[in-house]
Amino acid sequence: MGLSYTEAIRLVEAEAYRKRNVFLSRAETCSIYAARGRIARHTIYSPISTPRFDTSAMDGYALSSAATKDATVEYPRTFEVKGITAAGDEPFTEVKHDGVIPPCVEIMTGAPFPTTIDQEHFDCCIRYEDLKAEERSGRRFITVTKPAKPNQNRRLAATDFRTDDVIVKEGELIHPNHVMAMASVGITELSVLPKPRIAIFSTGSELLPVKEESTKLHRISDSNGPYLTATLEDWGAIVDFLGVIPDQPEDMEQALLRGLHGSRYDLIISSGAVSAGRYDFIPAVLERLRARTVFHKVEMRPGHPVLFSMLPRPETGPDSEVAFFGLPGNPVASAACLRFIVAPYLSTIQLQPQEKPYKARIMAMDSKLGSRHGIPPATGSSKPVTTVPMEKDVFRPGTFCGSTDQDLIVQLISDHSPGKIKPFLEANCWIRIPPGVSEVREGDLVGIYPMR
């Protein structure tokens, strides 16, 4: 029996840990305007408490709640408006009044809350909708007909962020919510991990570059190069596509040497030429370049021929090797290996946790999700769905169908040939079936990974 998928991932992570410090040393400073989708190099703490002062949560009038305690419709309380304050204004501190009618201040949302005016403690805001305003002899008044509560519609200082609250954790992917939080406490830039630099090339004399047309029926368009590029860029990498390389060992060697030039790339990925066929030259080329092969062939389907090596650079030092992944040529097999072999390497060097699957129940392809109670757990009499090789981890494209009161529900794509692309287009998730299983039945619990 060959290398298990679990052991392969252990080896991938071990090599990634060896390279991680070199990768982290290239951390860069980034404006919060460009931070979305980047990964924080360090934990970021709030430098201040917010709000820094009490503010109004509503448009209305700030006044003393104690002065409204006896207010009713029959016996309303009247306040004289002594001014207006808006967001950005200095707070009121002194207001003269006649001592008979208590004062109030018209206040806008976000404005600093007045505190004490001539011994009147302003501790609440009454909305425009909850009072009556009028003007008499050039003076403005409001009438309140029910008691107000202390701190009503008042945002107290330091009730949002406190100094040293964590905003972003080390290794956390930055979302717009993080950007809002950083901006609110005055953080304008942060240290982020570099974007992984990845070189890709496709192999196969039968392949046509995307822009090239041919009337020869024995030539086909390269789909792996564009797919791998698009997916890795979607994951935040900087990708250079080095082109389509014919099935000649010298050309493959030159492509690898281009990827090794200087210290430009963190990763090199090829598709095709890694199996045991007459024209599968990648293993021999790697041997000629004195690569250190970590593994070649994994007990997974699709993707069994996948290869992982560490290629020596011309330079010496801590960055003297670059990771190389040789993926199979079949498009769906290449996609599976990218997601389940290459992605764990990228996650590790970028301080990311490994992806955990959701749990879902399999529904047969000729079944429909009708009941909210869903599909019962599989039994020996449950409807068979598919057979799989017992000794392998199997990754199959699937369709997430919805959820019930108890479970998520998925279906396998009917045609799972690794060389067919149209069925893959219908999929929105990967379904993982672990080794030790030979038959999948309706109701079986499986791990699913959303396609991203």
Band (371; pLDDT cuts 50, 70, 90)? low
Segment 119-146 mean pLDDT = 93
Same domain for 299 and 383, yes or no, is no
pLDDT for 116 equals: 64
- Which range among 110-124, 291-305, 306-320 shows the weakest confidence by mean pLDDT? 110-124
Same domain for 198 and 346, yes or no, is yes
- Which of the two residues, 380 and 280, has the higher pLDDT score? 280
Same domain for 222 and 100, yes or no, is no
Asked if residue 301 is part of any domain, the answer here is yes
In this structure, the strands spanning 116-117 and 120-121 are antiparallel
Band (33; pLDDT cuts 50, 70, 90)? very high
Task: Give the start-end residues of each E strand in 149-276.
Answer: 154-155, 166-168, 189-192, 197-203, 207-208, 220-221, 238-245, 267-271
Contact (CB, 8 A) for 186 and 52: no
Same domain for 345 and 362, yes or no, is no
Contact (CB, 8 A) for 346 and 237: yes
pLDDT for 206 equals: 87
pLDDT in tens, 213-268: 655 667 888 999 999 999 999 999 999 999 999 999 999 999 999 999 876 899 99
Which residue pairs from 204-212 have beta carbons closer than 8 angstroms and sit at least 24 positions apart in sequence?
204/244, 204/245, 204/246, 204/247, 204/272, 204/273, 204/329, 205/246, 205/247, 205/248, 205/279, 207/244, 208/244, 209/243, 209/244
pLDDT in tens, 270-295: 999 999 888 789 999 999 999 999 99
pLDDT in tens, 185-220: 999 999 999 999 999 999 998 898 766 665 566 788
pLDDT for 179 equals: 99
Whether the predicted model's global pTM rises above the 0.85 cut: yes
Band (308; pLDDT cuts 50, 70, 90)? very high
Asked if residue 176 is part of any domain, the answer here is no
Distance in Å from the first CA to the final CA of the chain? 32
Asked if residue 180 is part of any domain, the answer here is no
CATH code, domain carrying 409: 2.40.340.10
Same domain for 336 and 422, yes or no, is no
- The per-residue pLDDT of the chain, averaged, comes to 92
Asked if residue 410 is part of any domain, the answer here is yes
Last residue of a domain, one of 301, 334, 350: 350
Segment 356-381 mean pLDDT = 78
pLDDT for 416 equals: 85
Band (339; pLDDT cuts 50, 70, 90)? very high
Same domain for 379 and 317, yes or no, is no
Radius of gyration of the chain (CA): 32
Same domain for 263 and 364, yes or no, is no
Asked if residue 287 is part of any domain, the answer here is yes
d(CA 204, CA 104): 81
Band (119; pLDDT cuts 50, 70, 90)? low
Same domain for 407 and 311, yes or no, is no
Same domain for 340 and 369, yes or no, is no
* DSSP three-state, residue 26: coil
Contact (CB, 8 A) for 443 and 384: no
- Highest mean pLDDT (candidates 33-47, 119-133, 313-327): 33-47
pLDDT for 215 equals: 57
Same domain for 217 and 276, yes or no, is yes
The domain total for the chain is: 3
Segment 291-306 mean pLDDT = 97
Band (374; pLDDT cuts 50, 70, 90)? low
d(CA 153, CA 186): 25
For residue 408, the enclosing domain spans 358-450
Same domain for 340 and 362, yes or no, is no
* Residues 6+ positions from 139 with CB-CB distance below 8 Å: 80, 81
d(CA 229, CA 429): 19
Same domain for 308 and 209, yes or no, is yes
Tell me which amino acid residue 385 is: V
CATH code, domain carrying 107: 2.170.190.11
Asked if residue 240 is part of any domain, the answer here is yes
Asked if residue 285 is part of any domain, the answer here is yes
Contact (CB, 8 A) for 323 and 198: no
pLDDT for 78 equals: 97
